[in-house]
Structure 1
Amino acid sequence: MEIRHFHYIRTIYETGSISRAAQQLYISQPSLSQLLKSVEKKVGAPLFDRSTQPLRPTTIGRKYLAAAKHIMEIDAEFRQYVEDELGCAQGNLIVGSSPFRSTYFLASFLPQFQAQYPGIRLQLAEHTSKRLEEAVLSGDVDLIIATQPVDTEAFSCAELYAEEMILVLPANHPLSKAYDLPQDCRGNLPVLPISLLKDTPFIQMHSEQKLHHQLLSICEEGGFTPKIYLQTRSMETALTLASAGLGATLMPMTLLRAFHPQTPPCFAALPMRPCRHALVAWRKKAYLSHAARAFIDSLVDYCRDKGDDL
């Protein structure tokens, strides 16, 4: 069977529908149905249960999909190996990142990387921390920009930079006035014990984002469970809502330096000075192409050179 047949069958599985898979693959539905029947004839058994919607793989279908995924990974690694042996700094590279890091971090790095390696074709895959880690482990993404902690048994990684986590409060919050909190995050910020916010509602990030769990951990250290007003997947939204007076939030300094909501909030440091470390990570023992190695080395050098300006 051809490699593309594996790709077609996997797309049927991922979409749960022959018609949706055909649209995604830009081929006709009858052609894809005929291809599936042809593959099933060679296998000698159905790969999908047609009585369910979405389509679900049969027992043999699940084995086929697992084998197809393995074969596709071997094929991709071999093609990357050939490109590397030919000495070409080229190839395709899929990099996973949160929308926040794509906007405020990668956007400043990628022009420099593209100028240095014009033969490397990049594709960005944007999602939450949890989904990105799943994507790199499944082989759908080559590298991800992640934050600690990561499973070191599953991932190899290189550290990029550390960013301090800062409390953001509305300007009209009683603590903003009592502590004379500044509306500029630069310089030495006043320290505000997190325990003073036990009665303040919080704008929290989604549970698939590590910042969600970091807020819970910090509040637990302060002896309380935060009152959550709402959750969002967007750091810019959380910062804007906190600025508008809907509650407090916890944000990385990287965002606070780059994004300024229309209504300026107030800022405070925490006594424990919590930080999180940004990493570039990849599946452990995976073959790293020349393009992937070039991206990792360039990104590490870029972060080292930028230092505190990130």
Structure 2
Amino acid sequence: MELRQLQYALQIAAERNFSRAADKLHIAQPSLSQQLSKLEKEIGVLLFQRNTSSVELTHAGAAFMEQAQKIVDAVELLHQEMTDISQLRGGKVVIGSMPITGSHLLPYVLPVFRQTYPDIEITLLEDSSMNLEKLTANGKTDLSLLSLPLLEPSLAYEVIGEEKIDLAVPPEHPLAVKHANQTLETIQIEELKNESFIVLKKGQGFRKMTFDLCQQAGFEPKVVFESSNMETIQSLVAAGMGITLVPRFIARAPRTDFVPIFLPLAEPVPSRTLVVAYRRGRYLSKAAEAFIDSFKKSIDELID
């Protein structure tokens, strides 16, 4: 039994398809099938049920994958520990980030980290929060910048800080006018029940948070537009197409284009908990630990 055979089997289990697994592994599909057959012959059990449309794990296959993942993780842990010992400040960290978090927080963090640890290579992977949880659980990222709650039970995390939520409205909106005239200090979310909302598309954690806050206030938000880009959402708000909720880091980011008016919400001000997540039990390299430490220090200076 070879380590690469375990890795091949795990990739097939993840993809449920020989062709996609072969593509991810950068080998020919016949070679992948041959290696799996050799492995099954050696251990004496069938790991997968094959049919024309999909590949499914057998009962023995599910048990095998659980142990195989532990072996592959142990080898990776050993490699990373030896790399830390030999390179000290060197190494590589793969960071997953949600678009709205990465574009507004990482510019504060990465320059400081690069200056302190110039020999550590950073690779960024941007995706939705839902996909990032899966990628991190599968070991495709070392760390991911996410917000609570996490749905993937295999992830552990370190809290970075609490980020308050603001309301974004068009400049001519009655709430903006009242706030400018100092006749309105904060807004209750219940006051927004008849408003038109512009929200992120499904798969983004902040979209769910927006819906949860509205539902807790007793109403379902009336969604008129959806976008995968928070900048687009803010431009639509500024153009008078609706309102939205915005993480405060984004609300404070300087812009020169269409800009909505950002208003504070009433106490207790809703917030989201930002975290750095990683697979539970996964060895964190010195490079990864250094990134977490740098991120915490940089964000502490931004959080009110």
Bucket of the pairwise TM-score, normalised by the shorter protein: 0.7 to 0.9
Secondary structure of the residue aligned to 1:60 is: helix
Q: Which segment is superposed worse, 290-299 or 257-266?
A: 257-266
Shift of 1:31: 1.9
Matches within 5 A, 1:18-167: 18-86=18-86, 88-150=88-150, 156-167=156-167
1:237 pairs, out of 232, 238, 252, with 232
Corresponding residue for 2:188? 193
**1:201–1:227 contact (8 Å) kept in structure 2:** yes
Residues 145-199 of structure 1 deviation map (CA, whole Å, 9 limit, x = unaligned): 2223458x965544434332111112343443455489xxxxxx94233222211
**1:203–1:247 contact (8 Å) kept in structure 2:** yes
Cα distance in 2 for residues equivalent to 1:164 and 1:90: 35
**2:163–2:303 contact (8 Å) kept in structure 1:** no
**1:240–1:261 contact (8 Å) kept in structure 2:** no
**Partner amino acid, structure 1, of 2:242:** G
RMSD of Structure 2 on Structure 1 (CA): 3.0
Residues 22-43 of structure 1 deviation map (CA, whole Å, 9 limit, x = unaligned): 2222222222222222222212
Cα distance in 1 for residues equivalent to 2:107 and 2:22: 33
Change (3 A) 1:65 1:157: closer
Corresponding residue for 2:219? 224
**2:18–2:32 contact (8 Å) kept in structure 1:** yes
Would you identify which runs of 4 or more consecutive aligned residues in structure 1 move more than 6 Å? none
Shift of 1:64: 2.3
Cα distance in 1 for residues equivalent to 2:16 and 2:277: 30
Q: Which runs of 5+ in 2 are unaligned?
A: none
**1:181–1:268 contact (8 Å) kept in structure 2:** no
Residues 235-267 of structure 1 deviation map (CA, whole Å, 9 limit, x = unaligned): 223223322332211001211222637333222
Change (3 A) 1:195 1:113: same
Corresponding residue for 2:4? 4
Shift of 1:120: 2.5
Shift of 1:110: 1.9
Q: Which segment is superposed worse, 248-257 or 30-39?
A: 30-39
Cα distance in 1 for residues equivalent to 2:156 and 2:14: 27
Secondary structure of the residue aligned to 2:252 is: helix
Secondary structure of the residue aligned to 1:144 is: strand
Change (3 A) 1:29 1:259: farther
TM-score normalised by L of structure 1: 0.83
**Identity, % of aligned positions:** 33
**1:181–1:266 contact (8 Å) kept in structure 2:** no
Change (3 A) 1:157 1:14: closer
Q: Which segment is superposed worse, 5-14 or 128-137?
A: 128-137
How many residues in Structure 1 have an aligned counterpart in Structure 2?
302
Residues 203-234 of structure 1 deviation map (CA, whole Å, 9 limit, x = unaligned): 22345433233323432454333222244443
**Partner amino acid, structure 1, of 2:42:** K
**1:205–1:235 contact (8 Å) kept in structure 2:** yes
Secondary structure of the residue aligned to 2:171 is: coil
Cα distance in 1 for residues equivalent to 2:299 and 2:211: 29
Residues 113-135 of structure 1 deviation map (CA, whole Å, 9 limit, x = unaligned): 23432333333232333333344
